[in-house]
Amino acid sequence: MPKLMRLFPSDVWLPDLKVLCFNFQDRFSKFPGGRFLAFHDKYIGTADNPGRIVKSYHKSVDKLKNKIFSSSADKEYIDYHKIASLYILSFLEHKPFCLDIPGETKNPKISWYVKLANEYFSLSFLEAVFKAGNNTIDRQLQMDDKYKKDFIKTLYEHKQKTTILEPLSFAHTIFLIEQYYFR
């Protein structure tokens, strides 16, 4: 077992995370402008060779665990709400989904879904994390449209400034989303 996996048990998810990303990209390719959506899987990497998203996540986990547990941080684990929080924040910071529009393409119509792919990916990621954490296959994330739009706006604001969402409070928001919208 690689050393990183012993320190970060969530790294066993990396192959599944990449599959989730590619499936998301495939699904969003059907929206206007979606054919220009690119996913940089190297930003995730592997457990043996982590990419920038995973390295950022690892650094954030260490910082958060030291904040919560102080001297016993290396022996403690964090719950999947905090893991989801830190991964989403890392995704927003490093933006693995981006538009790759050829120079000769003039004014393509691109939907908001595609323009905000990193934010919308967070919803797919949350659903996958909730299913993994609950061992329930038949439940789905079913957010009210207004709340979903507000959540996406919050993620967009964070992506622009990368200072708005504090990981612990965001983890509590994720917990509430699970409680109220994962049915």
Residue 38 near residue 26 (C-beta atoms within 8 A): no
Band the pLDDT of 3: cuts 50, 70, 90.
very low
Supply the pTM of this predicted model.
0.91
How long a stretch of residues is the chain? 183
The whole-number average pLDDT for the span 114-136 is 92
| Residue 97: its H or E element | strand 97-99
pLDDT at 54: 95
Q: Is the pLDDT of residue 6 over 70?
A: no
Ranges of each domain in the chain: 3-181
Q: pLDDT by residue (tens digit) across 7-47?
A: 578 888 899 999 999 999 999 999 999 999 999 999 999 88
Spell 34-64 as b/e; 16+ CB within 10 A means b: bebbebbeebbbbbeebbbbbebbbebbeeb
pLDDT at 12: 87
- The interaxial angle of helices 117-134 and 80-94, nearest 10 deg, is 160
Residue from 111, 131, 139 nearest 37 by CA? 111
Question: Tokens standing for 5?
Answer: 């996996």
Question: Tokens standing for 24?
Answer: 């998301």
Band the pLDDT of 181: cuts 50, 70, 90.
very high
